[in-house]
Amino acid sequence: MRAPDPHPIAGLPGRVGVYEVGPRDGLQNEASPVSLATKLEFIERLASSGLSTIEATSFVSPRWVPQLADAGELYPLLPVRPGLRLPVLVPNQAGLDRAVAAGVSHIAVFGSATESFARRNLNRSVDESLRMFEPVVASAKSNGMWVRCYVSMCFGDPWEGPVEPGQVVGVCKRLMEMGCDELSVGDTIGVATPGQVHDLLDGLGSAGIATGQLAVHFHDTYGQALANTLAALEAGVATVDASAGGLGGCPYADSATGNLATEDLVWMLHGLGIDTGVDLESLVATSSWMAQKLGRPSPSRVVQALAGGAPALEDALEEP
C-alpha cells in the first residue's frame, strides 16, 4: 500500500496545517556540516511536496549553533512562491535585527515553561527570558511580522520531572499578551501521554487561549507523538509541528530524541480523511534523499516502508 485507506472520525479538523521544522530544528543538531546547497535543495524539495510553512533556519549566534551559521547567506536564496511561509527562529533582539535586515516576514521566539531548561537554553530565569522577549515581539510586530512563540518542556523536564499545567499556562498567557500570533506547546523530551495533552489544552482554553492560536510540537522519545497529536486534534488544534524524516531533537536536553516525522504524521492525517495539501510520495522521496546526504537511514516508519525498507504487501501475503 502506498497510501492509507481514509476513515474519518467525527469532530476532527477537516484540514491540518503542517508546520515543517526539519531545516531548522532537524538540522541544528547535526555534527557534520550540511552545505548551503544541500539546505537550499532540501527546502525547495519540501516546498515542492506541498508544505506551505517551512521553518528555514535560525538567526542565532554561530557560537551556539554552528550548523546554522549560514542563516544570513541562506535566507535571501530561499524559494519565493505564493502561499509559502519561511519563518526563522530569533533568540533575541540581535537575532531579530539580522532577520529584519534579511527581509524576513515570519519569526519565532523560543521560551521555556521550566526554570532549569530556561537556565540551560537561555542562561536566564523564566521571568528574565520573558522580559527579554517582550521588546523583541513588540519590535517584530511594529515591523509587520507574524510572530510564533514556542514554549518548551510543557509536560516534563529532565531536571524537574513532571510539569504542572498551571505552570505552563502562566508562561503561555504572558507570551500571548505580548502579541504572539501563534503559540506552539512542546513536549521537548517526549514524555507526554494523551491525558496530559487534554489537561493542558483544557487549561489553555480556560485561560482564554483559543485552539485556533495553538500548535503542538511532540517528540517521539517514548513512541507517543502520534497518540498525543490525535489527542490535540480531538481538542480542536489544527496546526502540528513535524520534521521531515524525523530529523532533530534538542541540543540542550540530552534525553530529547527526534521530532515527530512529517511522513508519519501525514500518513495518519490522510488516514483520518484530513487534508494537508502534502504529496506524501514526494515528501518520502525528499527525506530519503536527505538521509543519503546525512549518511544514515531515516527513523520515520513511513519513509522506511515506502522507500523500500518494508516488503511489498503482495510479497508479504505470499509468505507462509
- CA torsion sign for 230, 231, 237, 239 is negative
pTM value is: 0.94
User: How do 146-152 and 106-112 pair as beta strands?
Assistant: parallel
Nearest to 243 by CA among 55, 3, 61, 20: 20
Tracing cell 497518540 back to the chain, one arrives at: 227
Residue 156, helix vs strand vs coil = strand
Residue 30 CB neighbours (<10 A):
14
Nearest to 23 by CA among 38, 37, 43: 43
Task: Please check whether the domain covering 17-318 is classified as CATH 3.40.50.1780.
Answer: no
Order of all β-strands in the sheet with 182-187: 53-54, 17-20, 239-242, 214-218, 182-187, 146-152, 106-112, 88-89, 57-58
Residue 245, helix vs strand vs coil = helix
Distance CA 81, CA 292 (A): 27
Q: Quick check: is 250 catalytic?
A: yes
In single-letter form, the type of residue at position 144 comes to G
What mean pLDDT value characterizes the chain?
93
Q: Kindly list the domain boundaries of the chain, sorted by start residue.
A: 17-318
Q: What angle do CA 172, 185, 297 make, to 5 degrees?
A: 160
Give the burial string for 83-107 (b: 16+ CB within 10 Å, else e): eeebbbbbbbeebbebbbebebebb
| pLDDT tens profile 61-74 | 998 899 999 999 99
44-to-16, 50, 74, 79 alpha-carbon distances in Å: 21, 10, 12, 6
What tens-digit pLDDT sequence spans the chain (320 residues)?
Answer: 999 999 999 999 999 999 999 999 999 988 899 999 999 999 999 999 999 999 999 999 998 899 999 999 999 999 999 999 999 999 999 999 999 999 999 999 999 999 999 998 888 999 999 999 999 999 999 999 999 999 999 999 999 999 999 999 999 999 999 999 999 999 999 999 999 999 999 999 999 999 999 999 999 999 999 999 999 999 999 999 999 999 985 444 444 468 999 999 999 999 999 999 999 999 999 999 999 999 999 999 999 999 974 433 334 334 44
DSSP E strands in 14-93: the ranges are 17-20, 53-54, 57-58, 88-89
| pLDDT tens profile 184-215 | 999 999 999 999 999 999 999 999 999 999 99
